[in-house]
Structure 1
Amino acid sequence: MTTSSTPKPTESELEILQILWEKGDCTVRDVHEVLERNKNAGYTTTLKLMQIMLEKGLVERDASAKTHIYKAVASQQKTQQHLVNKMIDNVFNGSAARLVMQALGNHQASKDELDAIKKYLDELS
């Protein structure tokens, strides 16, 4: 799949992808149990979303056993990169610096996070 033809996940699909990226291969029930911790999600809604994601090519399904196993096809890095680029373009008028300043101004970064950011910036220059 090329970057230009990679399907873009909706917010709900992104929540499911994050579960699959973190936990690895899962059944619909596995995904549903994680989703239910944070919001009132119906099992059939989770199932339908995952079927749509299969059609879109965001996940693949192993149907060889009675319980189907889903696996993320969409790369976490490419998906995050696309979403950040879209946000920079649409919200911050193309300025990555404005995004970073806004993020650091709104979120209390830990000392380790700030050290990692400084190290990354030093490597860029």
Structure 2
Amino acid sequence: MPARPSDHPTEAEMEVLTILWASGPSTVRAVHEKLNAERGFGYTTTLKVMQIMLEKGLVKRDDSERSHLYTAAVKPEATRRSMVKTFMDRVFGGSAHDLVLAALGSGKIDAAELQKINELISEAKKTRRK
């Protein structure tokens, strides 16, 4: 029985999902070429990772053609939100405040990102008032 799509992807699975989100339906070979360039994965490793992802419900496979095409079965934003929520719960006891403080304290946020964060905070305040 396939697992729920909400099962969080591993690091390697996230790399495959990122490729599929950017490229759309792809063969194992196409994904492997991109992964191999970045991580030196063997073809059989890529194939195995994608088979596990299929079992977990993270990807779908169209096997109507000789070369099977894989597509992401999960959306990028939903996946990221779920992973951040789990991380926030585990590491910061569910505190968004502590998570944001840690992110801001990392020193890796530029002025444009701070502006976007401020816009998101303003929008969240407006939404809460309604």
Normalised TM-score (structure 1): 0.87
- The residue number in structure 2 matching 1:25 is 25
For 1:26 and 1:107, how far apart are their aligned partners in 2? 37
- The residue number in structure 1 matching 2:84 is 84
- RMSD over aligned CA atoms reads 1.6
In structure 1, stretches of 5+ residues that fail to align are none
Provide runs of 4+ in structure 1 moved above 6 Å: none
Deviation string 1:59-97 (CA, Å, 9 cap, x unpaired) is 111112121110000121221111101110111121111
Matched ranges for 1:1-40 at <5 A: 6-40=6-40
- The residue number in structure 2 matching 1:114 is 114
Normalised TM-score (structure 2): 0.84
Q: Which amino acid aligns with 1:52?
A: I
1:38 deviation in Å? 2.1
Answer whether contact 2:5 2:56 (CA < 8 A) is retained. no
For 1:98 and 1:71, how far apart are their aligned partners in 2? 35
In structure 2, stretches of 5+ residues that fail to align are 126-130
For 1:49 and 1:20, how far apart are their aligned partners in 2? 13
- The residue number in structure 2 matching 1:123 is 123
Counterpart of 1:106 in 2: which secondary structure?
coil
For 1:8 and 1:65, how far apart are their aligned partners in 2? 29
Q: Which moved more, 1:42-51 or 1:10-19?
A: 10-19
Counterpart of 1:109 in 2: which secondary structure?
coil
- The residue number in structure 2 matching 1:67 is 67
Answer whether contact 2:5 2:74 (CA < 8 A) is retained. no
1:11 deviation in Å? 2.1
Identical-pair percentage: 47
